[in-house]
Structure 1
């Protein structure tokens, strides 16, 4: 039996060394929970034996216990990096739930998250962080486990509006000698945006469709008259092209400037297009001036969707997003989960765990509430492994292995001695 006891000691020491080695290997793994091996002695006894004469039969591995103590908090500056100071786990979901196949639900302390193309907050494995919808003040609408859902942050928000009015301020040159691309005044051919000889100047103009998307729009100016012996008026005709299609002006968009370069105030705004592309283009303030053709100002009343510009997560897990120059909006609240017996959780790898009958069902709550830790944004929890302690334990486990090996060698020597006895 001494050889069996020695062999069990070798196996136990090997298990201890393997567990310590795993802890050391993951000392830099975010959210990793260290573990330790627990052993129990082995006795072969019966009702006919007494404890005074019973010799143990070695040791056996009882379990590998997880250490759920707090790890160090390391600041990263990334707003979607989250660390829990205190009790609780993040709940993450792999895949989507269906009527026949519920999504895999995992729990982790690793809070290295990012936003995917769909706007979901996910970890490196693509698992989605779960939370609750919130009211305008950031309070969860329904803080139950069944109400949890993937947290989604849309990249854009707001109401789009199409362009119906455009304002432009233009400076036309007084002297166009050597600066006029059209071949004559008026040009010898009809206006053609693809023929520079048929217009004098052009400029992009801001136009948005009903979805708030900027369109390819340009305004062209054809010089149709210049001062002569009979008139001091300079005249330009405006043409608007949107997405390659000319938008007809009714009446014709004619800009008249007097000898002082002042535009006729009676005709500064013109209507182009019809239906969904109908718009008023107001060129009040345009003038003839020295220098080259320039656009002093150009704006429209169209409105695109506001893009996500900033993000913050407070200590209670409320996610606040700012779109464009608007006020920040509460987008969701991170849910935390705890268990009556965390040691009963099943280890999955990737610093994740699954609930079991031993751990009990998940108990959910908000960060910073009773029984749950505070959430820190821009930080991560490192592995709760003390490297120095692990190295000391490794030395002890190595000596245990050597001692068990020596005991096995001694047992073998004794057996050899018995086998060599001759009558």
Structure 2
């Protein structure tokens, strides 16, 4: 039995090492959220058996949970680099299949059609605002059909020779465009998404998540209110991995692995001694 107990310990230590290694590997990944391996003991006994005479039977991995704590904000001075301070996610949509995913990676850029894209080619989603005042038509909604792709036209009202001069995004995520004649047009409010159970989100890679039954349906809204974090233009959120903490955890996991390996070696020695008794 001791072989299998220690084997479960080796597997648990291996899972911990794998999780820590993934965190360390993504220390420079924008918007990455670290994970932590959670373990539970294995115990079983017969109904009429006293538990004072039964030892545990090892350990198992209960879950590998992501930690959605705030990452460090790094200034970039690029207008379309957006960071979230607080809760919430950016909503982006893949143009090929229309699937909406959620990310904290706000490294956005503009393509040849003037759509604002993230690093995976998905389009940033916005909520409608009054073009003249920038007042949102709705502060929050659960209807994903209210989302539209953000497109920044190079000319005023897509006609004439009045060229675009600058773009700005305020802390509420309101996107405004200023043109050569001094006219300001409000293009929309960056759609922020919040969930009742963030831990239920499913990872999709590239610091993107998709909603599940466990996470619940998202609520979309304007930044800097309620559960929606404030938007910071000209900045990016770095990984929330603390490299010092991870290295300490790595040493602990390594010692755990070595201890379980030593327990197997000791059990093997005892078994060999018993078998070789003449």
Asked if these proteins are the same fold (TM beyond 0.5), I'd say yes
Give, in whole Å, the separation in 1 of the partners of 2:119 and 2:221.
24
Aligned to 1:382: 238
2:100 aligned to 91, 105, 115, which one?
105
Give 1:347-362 correspondences, 5 Å limit: 347-362=203-218
Give, in whole Å, the separation in 2 of the partners of 1:307 and 1:132.
24
Q: Which moved more, 1:322-331 or 1:57-66?
A: 322-331
Give, in whole Å, the separation in 2 of the partners of 1:72 and 1:124.
19
Give, in whole Å, the separation in 2 of the partners of 1:59 and 1:320.
55
Give, in whole Å, the separation in 2 of the partners of 1:159 and 1:71.
38
Q: How many residues are aligned here?
A: 274
Q: How far is 1:159 from its partner?
A: 7.5
Aligned to 2:133: 137
- Offset from partner CA, 1:17-42 (integer Å, 9 cap, x none): 11001101101100000000000000
Runs of 5+ unmatched residues, structure 1: 98-102, 161-303
Specify the SS of the correspondent of 1:391: helix
Relative to 1, partners in 2 of residues 1:307 and 1:359: Cα closer, same or farther, differing over 3 Å? same
2:170 aligned to 303, 314, 324, which one?
314
Mapped contact 1:132–1:151 kept (Cα < 8 A): no
1:305 aligned to 128, 139, 161, which one?
161
Aligned to 2:112: 117
Give 1:8-407 correspondences, 5 Å limit: 8-95=8-95, 103-135=98-130, 136-142=132-138, 143-144=140-141, 145=143, 146-158=145-157, 304-407=160-263
Mapped contact 1:158–1:305 kept (Cα < 8 A): no
Give, in whole Å, the separation in 1 of the partners of 2:117 and 2:129.
19
Q: How far is 1:96 from its partner?
A: 5.1
More strand by share: 1
Mapped contact 1:159–1:305 kept (Cα < 8 A): no
Mapped contact 1:82–1:379 kept (Cα < 8 A): yes
Give, in whole Å, the separation in 1 of the partners of 2:174 and 2:163.
20
**TM-score, normalization: structure 2?**
0.95
Q: How far is 1:141 from its partner?
A: 2.3
- Offset from partner CA, 1:319-371 (integer Å, 9 cap, x none): 01012233221111101111111011111110011111111111221100112
Specify the SS of the correspondent of 1:400: helix
Give, in whole Å, the separation in 2 of the partners of 1:347 and 1:49.
43
- Offset from partner CA, 1:257-283 (integer Å, 9 cap, x none): xxxxxxxxxxxxxxxxxxxxxxxxxxx
- Offset from partner CA, 1:61-97 (integer Å, 9 cap, x none): 0100100010110000000000000010001111256
* 2:270 corresponds to 1:414: yes
More helix by share: 2
Runs of 5+ unmatched residues, structure 2: none
Give, in whole Å, the separation in 2 of the partners of 1:45 and 1:95.
55
Aligned to 1:190: none
Give, in whole Å, the separation in 2 of the partners of 1:361 and 1:158.
35
Specify the SS of the correspondent of 1:11: helix
- Offset from partner CA, 1:155-214 (integer Å, 9 cap, x none): 222485xxxxxxxxxxxxxxxxxxxxxxxxxxxxxxxxxxxxxxxxxxxxxxxxxxxxxx
Give, in whole Å, the separation in 1 of the partners of 2:190 and 2:4.
53
